[in-house]
Structure 1
Amino acid sequence: MAPLRIGVLGCADIARRRMLPAMAAAEGVEIAAIASRDTDRARRLAQRYGARAVHGYAALLERDDVDAVYVPLPAELHARWTEAALRAGKHVLAEKPLTTDPVTTAELLALARASGLVLMENVMFVHHPQHETVRGWIADGLIGEVRAFRAEFAIPRLPDRDIRHSAELGGGALLDTGVYPVRAALHFLGDELRVLNAALHSTPGRSVDIAGAALLTAAGGVGVQLTFGIDHAYGSRYEVWGSEGRLTVDRAFTPPADHRPVVRLERRSGTEQRELEPADQVLAAVRAFAAAVTSGVTSGARPDAHVLRQAELVADIQRLARNTLSAVS
């Protein structure tokens, strides 16, 4: 079977550090071309992978030796170049968030379906097997009936010139780190989530939110608390609290490939730590995308079933937080 030939739009940090090495390691995937507005930069990166360097994103989309496109551009540019790629007949793997509003997300999903193309948002953590293990334990009644869910993801302060500090480029904590706990809630509780209240916080002189929190409810009255930020000590965890116990996962969203996940199980009978096998979620995400293309799975079906509902919930958090946006020193 011919390999899936992927073209990369840009030389973003996440492409260089994580996605390109995973694509190079994935069976049945070929890095065909890398585009940049800086030809020399594209050439230096392309040489590492035996790929062709292309000047400009539009030129890459015109190539007939590219089957699919990876979009690691700033969030505000995702919609423009995802649409252009789909209209050029390319499957698309786009960094999260797919777009900055749910209407545009819905339009792109509809375009992909109508074109018979795969459109996948690159939320990598959902492809790590540790979360399926946790879901299986919940389904088996290990903690009884689910009563509450809590998730948090925050990272240390970014350099002042980082694009995630730019409102014009779709920056801010909610769109960068907030997507993770929102998707985690969807992953474990399903689409019937409703945002009850939310708050976003900024610092003087910044045009984007650097921290936020949201309170939601899920089917059956399950309470949901989400916290996120881009000016914090690192935190990456979720907790599922049941009628008979609770499960807690640390390093939940961005574990290294060699990390051995540990799930903490607390019940009346005592507390235990369950160690799981390590897994490379970046490589798993690339494989999921390639498998979707190979099997003809179009957007709206797995592996990206929650992308539109996620966009709607993020918009709801933004709307409810708008009147409470506060500045913190």
Structure 2
Amino acid sequence: MARGDRTVEALTTSLRCGVLGCADIAWRRMLRVLAAEPGLELTAVASRDEARAARFAREFGCAAVHGYEALLGSADIDAVYVPLPAMLHTEWVEKALCAGKHVLVEKPLAADPGDAERLLRLARSAGLVLRENMAFPQHAQHARVRRELDSGAIGELRDFSSVFTIPPLPEENIRYQPEVGGGALLDLGVYPIRAASHFLGPDVEVVHAVLRLQARTRTVISGRVLACAAGGVTVDLAFGMEHSYRTSCEFAGSGGRLVLERAFTPPTTYQPVLRFERQDHREQIVTRADDQFANVVRSFVDAVRGGAGAAVDHDDASLRQARLVSEVERVARRVTV
């Protein structure tokens, strides 16, 4: 059976999925979702640490595999979820695709836009689905925001701002290892960058940026980006891991302002609130709770069932994100603190 024919096989059977790595996001969020998805069978989890793989396997009712290569070599696996640190994505996504596996990989798809483009091209040529797990656009609250903007609820859009910041992490956290975790730009900055691209379209252009580097490790720990979009819409993006916790998107228009809190990481039971402010009127709209990670997994399974071509829009969004990150790195003024 050719690699691309795995899609046909998946039409009549559950998609058998393995996991490369025992990351925190896998434990807290994604393995629960993978195990619950009716169109998918969580088959195995692999780690270089046998005890860690066994712990995950017991918790989520699957097999434990010692080593990533062993899992990729299994004929009983159709797809893999890759929650490895950011700087390892390119290597292991490529190996998974070459092993004939569909891939759902944590954001960012790759640290370099050239690598992202190459991996997406490799997936298409093999008839495989490669999907980046940037979950927030799959949440219902963002579809509601889009409808409000399109209806003219705040008039013509003039300014967009977005923030994702978290408190400092323990010193040993992998995010402080730039050669592995990639730092705050790749871990947190991609969210407001993706939000700008998601809502403002493909013409977002980075004008200037400031990146704060930790003196001890030379890791990017925070930053701010100034950009612009079609029609002269101004864009202000902030991110970092030396702040209080904050995730938000704000849209300022000719007739009012729309603010969305918990824009990127709402709990599954949380009912998002859209806050409107106009000159003589304030209003809050409570929207329905949603599970953005379940939506991502369901979309991934549907893409496999429908063929690799179903992922084209996601490919474009991932490439735009990678290119904008690269532009931020190119133009940024770096300040060591």
TM-score by length of 2: 0.94
| Contact 2:120-2:315 within 8 A present in 1 as well | no
* Preserved CA contact (<8 Å) 2:218 2:336: no
Contact persistence 1:6–1:66 (CA under 8 A): yes
Matched, 1:256 2:291: no
1:139 match: 150
CA contact (8 A) 2:158 2:233 kept: yes
Root mean square deviation of aligned Cα: 1.2
- Structure 1, residues 96-137: CA drift from partner, whole Å, max 9, x if none? 111111010110011011111111111111110100100011
Q: Which amino acid aligns with 2:196?
A: A
CA distance in 2, matches of 1:48, 1:173: 30
Q: Does 1:149 pair with 2:131? A: no
Question: Residue type of the partner of 1:326?
Answer: V
| Contact 1:215/1:226 (<8 A) preserved | yes
> Aligned to 1:260, what secondary structure does the other structure show?
coil
The yes-or-no answer on 1:32 pairing with 2:43 is yes
1:57 to 64, 68, 78: 68
For this pair of structures, how many residues does the alignment match?
Answer: 326
1:161 paired with 2:172, answer yes
Instruction: List alignment gaps of at least 5 residues for structure 2.
Output: 1-11
Equivalent position SS for 1:5 = strand
**153, 165, 183: which is aligned to 1:172?**
183
Shift of 1:48: 2.5
Residue 47 of structure 1 and its aligned partner are, at CA, apart by 2.4
- Following the alignment from structure 1 to structure 2, what is the Cα–Cα distance between the partners of residues 136 and 215? 26
Q: Distance in 2 between matches of 1:35 and 1:232?
A: 34
Partner residue of 2:336? 327
Q: What displacement does 1:46 show?
A: 1.1
What is the alpha-carbon distance in structure 2 between the residues aligned to residue 50 and residue 206 of structure 1? Answer: 39
Q: Is the 8 A contact 2:225 2:237 kept in 1?
A: yes
CA distance in 1 between partners of 2:78 and 2:164 (Å) = 34
Instruction: State how 1:1-329 maps to structure 2 within 5 Å.
Output: 1-298=12-309, 301-321=312-332, 324-328=333-337
Rounded to whole Å, the distance in 1 between the matches of 2:204 and 2:311 is 18
- 1:206 alignment partner, SS class: coil
CA contact (8 A) 2:18 2:77 kept: yes
SS of corresponding position for 1:158? coil
Secondary structure at 1:325 match in 2 = strand
Structure 1 residues 297 and 269: CA distance shift in structure 2, 3 A: farther
| Separation of aligned partners in 2, 1:62 and 1:176 | 29
Higher mean displacement: 288-297 or 145-154 = 288-297
State how far apart, in whole Å, the 2-side matches of 1:319 and 1:205 are. Answer: 22
What letter matches 2:131 in structure 1? M
* SS of residue matched to 1:274: strand
Provide the identity percentage: 52
Q: What letter corresponds to residue 231 of structure 1 in structure 2? A: E
1:300: Cα distance to partner? 5.4
Q: Take 1:264 and 1:126, find their aligned partners in 2: how far apart are those partners? A: 19
